[in-house]
Amino acid sequence: MNESNALFIKSILLLLVPLFLVILLHSSRVIITPNDQFFELQKGEVPQIDKNEWILNITGDIKNDLVFDYENFTELSSKSLVATLECVEGPYGTAKWTGIPLIDILEMAEIDSDAVDVVFWAADNYSDSLTLQEASAENILLAYEMNGEPLPEEHGFPVRLITPDHYGYKWVKWIVKIEIVDYDYIGFWEERGWSDDAMRSNFSDWITHAYLFTITLIFGGLSYISGYKFFHRDNIFRKLPNFVNQRFHTIFSVIFGIFSIISFIYWGISTLLLRGAIFYSLHGIISLIMIISLSISLISGAYSALKKRKGRTIHKKTSDVAFFLFVCSLLFGLIIAFIGGFRLNQSFL
């Protein structure tokens, strides 16, 4: 293989690295996370609950009010399932959870016909709800074990909610009361702008965004190195094969522009809808500045192509800024994802 082709292939392999990292992160979701490495997140302090004093009350729009203590709750017939707990902000972990199917408790309680929501109240004054229909799904558990051990204190001892199709903020920890209500209850994070249905999937917002971004990098990189080939007389990119020409540069720059705008809009809309604010992450702010410089770069690039050299300096400078910011934003996103994904314990807020 000649030197210039080898250089081209090396550049492409380098540009593929972030995409492989995202695939690795994404597929690591099936791996069980040990309890001591599982991420930890709550609005305040971890409440200390004495097993012998803990009581679970089931009340509200039901025929039979129920009260359990730890012993008679854990004596009910239990079920285990493997489920991924994913926070909307990125961190996630997968565990085998054991507990009492919520549906069994609801059946014992005999729900009134006007019931709408099931509200879970926690010892730290946190609360959240599921609709009665969601709460009746087979895969919803009131878990008291995590990977075969009693639920650790920081993960909700003695009992937490497991709701695999919802984001982490629905997985209420330290449950002390379950109340059935006849209205649409607004939980802790929903009051602060997050969506009430909180549905997640294996391709939920964050991971889709990560794929979009890492694919965009490949186009951006091709656009950048092909541009670099013409601008600097003495750099290694001058050795790139002949087909890496002006036309190649234009095509990949336009695809880069389109993809980064799509992924920015995607992220903007999903955070806007979920939370009511685009600018909640540094990642988002960097992307916005990047989009602005990229737009200037594309316009000045087109202008310089039409008017010969005029506009070239602006094009070069804004491209440098845009590509640099793009890489920063991507690295920033990946660092957050790896911190969350590989579960360095964290406690926000």
Residues that bind ligand MTE (CB under 6 A): 38-43, 85, 87, 122, 124, 126, 155, 168-169, 171-174
Q: How many CB atoms lie within 10 A of CB 323?
A: 23
Q: Does 257 bind Mo ion (CB under 5 A)?
A: no
Q: Does 87 bind Mo ion (CB under 5 A)?
A: yes
Measured from the CB atom, is 85 or 105 closer to Mo ion?
A: 85
Q: Which of residues 113-172 bind Mo ion (CB under 5 A)?
A: 168-169
Residue 326's nearest CA partner among 299, 293, 280, 302 is 293
Q: Which does 173 bind (CB under 5 to 8 A by kind): Mo ion, ligand MTE, none?
A: ligand MTE
Size of the site for Mo ion (CB under 5 A): 3
Q: In angstroms, what is the minimal distance from the CB of 53 to Mo ion?
A: 28
Measured from the CB atom, is 170 or 249 closer to Mo ion?
A: 170
Q: In angstroms, what is the minimal distance from the CB of 32 to ligand MTE?
A: 14
Q: In angstroms, what is the minimal distance from the CB of 260 to ligand MTE?
A: 29
Q: In angstroms, what is the minimal distance from the CB of 155 to ligand MTE?
A: 4
Q: In angstroms, what is the minimal distance from the CB of 169 to Mo ion?
A: 4
Q: Which does 39 bind (CB under 5 to 8 A by kind): ligand MTE, Mo ion, none?
A: ligand MTE
Q: In angstroms, what is the minimal distance from the CB of 89 to Mo ion?
A: 6
Measured from the CB atom, is 241 or 276 closer to ligand MTE?
A: 276
Q: Which does 85 bind (CB under 5 to 8 A by kind): ligand MTE, Mo ion, none?
A: ligand MTE
Residue closest to ligand MTE (Cβ): 168
Measured from the CB atom, is 169 or 185 closer to Mo ion?
A: 169
Q: Is the peptide bond before 164 cis (omega within 30 degrees of 0)?
A: no
Secondary structure of the chain in the HEC alphabet? CCHHHHHHHHHHHHHHHHHHHHHHHHHHHHCCCCHHHCCCCCCCCCCCCCCCCCEEEEEECECCCEEEEHHHHHCCCCEEEEEEEECCCCCEEEEEEEEEEHHHHHHHHCECCCCCEEEEEECCCCEEEEEHHHHCCCCCEEEEEECCEECCHHHCCCCEEECCCECHHHCCCCEEEEEEECCCCCCHHHHCCCCCCCECCCCCHHHHHHHHHHHHHHHHHHHHHHHHHHHCCCCHHHHCCCCCCHHHHHHHHHHHHHHHHHHHHHHHHHHHHHHCCHHHCHHHHHHHHHHHHHHHHHHHHHHHHHCCCCCHHHHHHHHHHHHHHHHHHHHHHHHHHHHHHCCCCCCCC
Q: In angstroms, what is the minimal distance from the CB of 323 to ligand MTE?
A: 34
Measured from the CB atom, is 88 or 115 closer to Mo ion?
A: 88
Say which residue the tokens 């040990």 belong to: 34
Measured from the CB atom, is 313 or 346 closer to Mo ion?
A: 346
Integer Cα distance of 175 and 298 in angstroms: 54
Measured from the CB atom, is 214 or 270 closer to ligand MTE?
A: 270
Q: Which amino acid is at 168?
A: G
Residue closest to Mo ion (Cβ): 87
Q: Which does 297 bind (CB under 5 to 8 A by kind): ligand MTE, Mo ion, none?
A: none
Measured from the CB atom, is 85 or 218 closer to ligand MTE?
A: 85
Q: In angstroms, what is the minimal distance from the CB of 242 to ligand MTE?
A: 52
- Chain contacts with Mo ion (rule: CB under 5 A): 87, 168-169
